[in-house]
Chains A and B, each alone.
Chain A
Amino acid sequence: MTDATVANGRVESVSAALAGSGGAGVMTAGNMLLEAAAQAGYFGLMTRTSGPQIRGGEAAAMLRVSTFASDSQDDRFHVLAAIDWQNVNRFASEIPLGEASLLIGDPAQGEPPEAFLKSGARYVPLPLKALAKQVSGGWPNMVALGVLGAVMGLPEEALERAVRKSMKKGGEALAAGLAAVKLGMAEAAKLERSFPLALPRAGAGRWLISGNEAAGLGALRGGVRFVAAYPITPATELLEWLSPALTKVGGTLVQAEDELASINMILGASYGGVPALTATSGPGLALMIEALGLGVAAELPIVVVDVMRTGPSTGIATKTEQADLNIAMYGLHGDAPHIVVAPNSVADCLAATQWAAGLAESLQVPAIVLSDQYFGQARAIIDRPPGAPASGKRLLAQPNAPAYKRYALTESGVSPMALPGTPGVTYTADGLEHNERGTPSSQASDHLAQMEKRARKLESLDCGEDWATLEGEGDVAVLTWGSCTAPVREAFARARAEGIQARLVSLRLLSPAQPARLAKALEGVKRVLVVEQSFSGQFQRYLKAEYDLPGEVHSLRRPGPLPIRPDEIHRTLKSWSRP
């Protein structure tokens, strides 16, 4: 919510949160609200926050419904509705409100916490539970769904379709749900404040997808047919989506005993010629690092999707942060060139993962995809992603190739790989340094030659335009990556409306770094703002290490889980534009 968006009665974007403790069904209602927005033709994004409890914990569904596509959260929420207030105050910093906001709560559950009231938001008591009791089998969350839907001006048919889609069994439960939603809408009509959305832009063939699902689909598009899985929040849904999906496309998933096993299993499968992937989060990635080095040395393509959460150690398992950059880039021991790719939108989780899988295969190298909890667990309404371009393929050795050398010193560094079963070209894949044949060697000359070969592969990578998302112009540039990209983009839109120009550079290919390309993108830039979600400024340090940045460099950063909101970036751009 910005001041601009509440002008002239209709808004382009509404942010709404629905909170409550276990059993309140806020996620279910939130998902239906998102579905209703999709049915009505809007774009939308739902993220979630929750307490640490397995069951019964406090949780909030945080939605943004808009006429335009955006993965960014807004500066403030237009409305927060709570089924109850049990520990919901813990989310106060994640659900910022303003004086123009609406705070809806059931008076039977007590007053809203001071943390919310002090924002100056208008508190409207609404007896959600009592209202729900008016409907036989009615639930307060369905009433809240009706209230929120009406507050943002969603048509009743859209809400009804969403409820029907979600409650496929129909019967009394469906009837009760629909009645409760209707009741909620009627109550909302009595409210003094609402935020009706402007008419949606026409668009067909949209998708509703989470970042984790998108990454899973990207993996399959990229040819992945073997997955080893060890559950970890917030990457588990990616693996769970892949399990049946792989079966459908003729692949296999094995649940591993730990992350050490999962990474080594995918190395084994890849050695066998089957493109392979695992997904994990920071603690799992830390365990996988040694074997990633084996992938580099033995030249085995694999993909590891790291859905980042806050660290260090167990950190906050359910919340987002961009602080695995260092370990992904520099965690491997020895000089170990590998690929690091970062999607910069929910939709890009698909393209980036597919791209990473193709790069891994064509360069015979491990690739890390740095997604995060924000993308992974967000569900977004997106334009249908373009069809899959061809993915990179592995260079294979032919049967009985004369004088076959697995690690031949080729010009590109990529040498044909023999797959087990191919006669006359057997070899041993080895983490020990080796000569061209793959025979272990402790000689300095072999070490240097193989090191150069492995480095050459990444130098030969032609990433075209895919290395970054470039937008805008001017002598101010904002450098960012991953889930910080959307708020930067939104800040740019606001700045543009004020006649302020800036360049956005959102890096997608973090390793190998592309200094020449970035230098070109930053030609004429006098000031650089680096935006990232890490405490120590890992991205800024990375930029300093890998690139020459022009002019003054400023950093806008904070650790997770609080997002960097568009307003903060917008303010900096504005202050810099003053003569």
Chain B
Amino acid sequence: MNAPAIAPALTAQDFKSDYKPVWCPGCGDYTVLASITRALAALQLRPEKVAVVSGIGCSSRIPAYTTCYGFHGVHGRALAAATGLKVARPDLTVLVAGGDGDGYSIGGNHFLHACRRNIDLTDIVMDNHVYGMTKGQPSPTTEPDWKSKLSPAGTGLREFHPLVIALAAGANFIARAFSGDPSGTAAVIGEAIRHPGFSFVEVLSPCVTFRPEQRAWKEAVHPASVAATDDPARAARRLMTDDGFNTGVLYKGTRPAYSAAAGKTTLHPADLEKDFAL
């Protein structure tokens, strides 16, 4: 009997590097890594045609765990670096990965403008509502009453709502996934990569070390009961009213992706000198 399908050139394993993650066993980020590699294999991309860009934080360690080209930059600036890379090299598939502190706090401004610019990037934020690498401080998505050494009485601040902000700022694809659902996460990431423009995937990814209670997220998450909408107004209402555990693709916009005004003409710099000649 013949094989039921043509063998893929590459499997998920081919996207995994031999450098082993330093994440705590139990961390949701392992699933996200597995989901990314699975999605890239399913999309039949080549590792050298994919770049994974990150900032600083536990989840931002992800580029080196793949066999893709990686860029592990400074805290909060992954989207900026990815923007430069994608505009300079539109032939590449560029993924941005990081955590809630990196993406929403120190990198908050870049998040807004990446959504607005709508460059063809996929931004995967592994949200565990805590700064893990610095040993457990509240992040923008931390609940107001969560107590820590830095905020013994809780922050008293309402949580940042990344999906609503992404929508308002102009993201073209908005999804929520849960790292306890590797299948769903892989599917969402694959779809995000395929969708043109800026695709934002928020992955609820528990921190078993500083937020062990997040293990209970697996009881709380539920798939979205309706299909993704392309109507921003409808999406806004849904996102504003959901319980934060609604997973799946929630918004798929139709805005055309940013295309840089790359010069088609290729004059030589010497040709510009005549502007200065007397």
Any A–B CB pair closer than 8 Å: yes
- Assess whether A272 is in contact with B89, with CB atoms less than 8 Å apart: yes
B179 to A: closest C-beta gap in Å: 22
**A17 vs B213: C-alpha distance when bound (angstroms):** 73
A431 touches B19 (CB 8 A): no
Contact A420 B263 (CB under 8 A): no
Q: Which of A291-323 contact B (CB under 8 A)?
A: 291, 293-294, 298
Q: In the complex the two chains form, is A248's CB within 8 Å of B265's CB? A: yes
Smallest CB separation, B278 vs chain A (Å): 5
> B277, A426: Cβ atoms under 8 Å?
no
B110: chain A residues within 8 A (beta carbon)? 257, 260-261
Contacts of A388 in B (CB 8 A): 269-270
Partner of A268, one of B63, B68, B81, B91: B81
Question: Are B53 and A268 closer than 8 Å at their CB atoms?
Answer: yes
In the complex, per-residue mask of B184-219: 1 if CB is within 8 Å of any chain A CB, else 0: 000000000000000000000000000000000000
**B238 — which chain A residues lie within 8 A by C-beta?**
none
Q: Is the CB of A250 within 8 A of B263?
A: yes
Chain A residue, CB-CB nearest to B107: A260
By a CB distance below 8 angstroms, the chain A residues around B70 are: 426-430
Report A105 CB to chain B, min CB distance, Å: 32
Say whether B48 faces chain A, with CB atoms less than 8 Å apart.
yes
Query: Contacting B265 at CB < 8 Å: which of A205, A250, A420?
Result: A250
- Is B278 within 8 A of A38, CB to CB? yes
B80 within 8 A of A: yes
- A245: interface (CB < 8 Å): yes
Is chain A's binding surface mostly helix, strand, loop or mixed? mixed
- Assuming A246-B263, A428-B72, is B278 touching A254 (CB within 8 A)? no
- Which residues of A262-294 have CB atoms within 8 Å of chain B's CB atoms? 262-274, 276, 290-291, 293-294
Q: How does the 8 Å CB contact mask read for A225-249 relative to B, with 1 for contact and 0 for none?
A: 1101000000000000000011111
Check B271 for interface membership: any CB of A closer than 8 A.
yes
A224 and chain B: residue at smallest CB distance: B269
A421 at the interface (CB under 8 A from B): yes
Chain A residues near B269 (CB-CB < 8 A): 217, 220-221, 249, 388
Query: In the bound complex, do residue A431 and residue B74 qualify as a contact, i.e. CB atoms below 8 Å apart?
Result: yes
Name which residue of chain B comes closest to A420, CB basis: B69
- State whether the Cβ of A258 lies closer than 8 Å to any Cβ in chain B: yes
Cβ-neighbour of A206 out of B19, B61, B77, B278 (below 8 A): B278
> Within residues 41 to 56 of chain B, which ones have a CB less than 8 A from any CB in chain A?
46-49, 51-53
**Contact residue among B51, B113, B263 (Cβ-Cβ distance under 8 Å from A252):** B263
A251: chain B residues at CB < 8 Å are 262-263
Residue B272 at the chain A interface, CB threshold 8 Å: yes
Contact A261–B72 (Cβ < 8 Å): no
User: How far, in angstroms, from A554 to B269 measured CA to CA in the complex?
Assistant: 43
Could you say which of A81-89, A177-185, A207-215 contacts chain B? A207-215
Interface residues on B, range: 35 or more
- A-B contacts at CB below 8 angstroms, number: 194
* Given A257-B109, A424-B48, A274 and B73 contact (CB-CB distance below 8 Å): no
| Contact present for B83 and A261 (CB under 8 Å) | yes
Complex contact A226–B71 (CB within 8 A): no
User: Whole-angstrom distance between the alpha carbons of A270 and B80 in the complex?
Assistant: 13
Given A207-B277, A250-B265, A423-B46, is A272 in contact with B77 using a C-beta cutoff of 8 Å?
no
Within the complex, what minimum Cβ distance (angstroms) separates B24 from chain A? 17
- A247–B85 touching, CB < 8 Å: no
B157: interface (CB < 8 Å): no
Which A-chain residue is minimally distant from B47 (CB atoms)?
A: A426
Task: Compute how far the CA of A381 lies from the CA of B83 in the bound complex, rounded to whole angstroms.
Answer: 39
Near A by CB (< 8 A), chain B positions 244-262 give 260-262
- Provide the bound-state CA to CA distance between A267 and B86, in Å: 12
Q: Which of A206, A220, A260, A273 has the most CB of B within 10 A?
A: A260
Contacts of A421 in B (CB 8 A): 48-49, 89, 91-92
B267 close to A (CB within 8 Å): yes
Known contacts A39-B278, A266-B84, A439-B64; is-contact A430 B77 (Cβ 8 Å): no
Q: Is the CB of A248 within 8 A of B80?
A: no
By a CB distance below 8 angstroms, the chain B residues around A392 are none
Q: Can you spell out 20 A-B residue pairs with CB atoms less than 8 angstroms apart?
A: A39-B278, A205-B277, A207-B277, A245-B272, A247-B262, A249-B266, A249-B267, A250-B265, A252-B263, A257-B80, A260-B76, A261-B113, A265-B80, A268-B83, A268-B84, A269-B88, A272-B84, A418-B69, A430-B70, A439-B64
Closest 4 CB pairs of A and B: A428-B70, A268-B84, A265-B84, A264-B80
Binding site for B on A (CB under 8 A): 38-39, 205-209, 213, 217, 220-221, 225-226, 228, 245-254, 256-258, 260-274, 276, 290-291, 293-294, 298, 381, 384, 387-388, 418, 420-432, 438-440
Residues of B at the A interface (CB closer than 8 Å) are 19, 46-49, 51-53, 61, 63-64, 67-74, 76-77, 80-89, 91-92, 109-110, 112-113, 260-273, 276-278
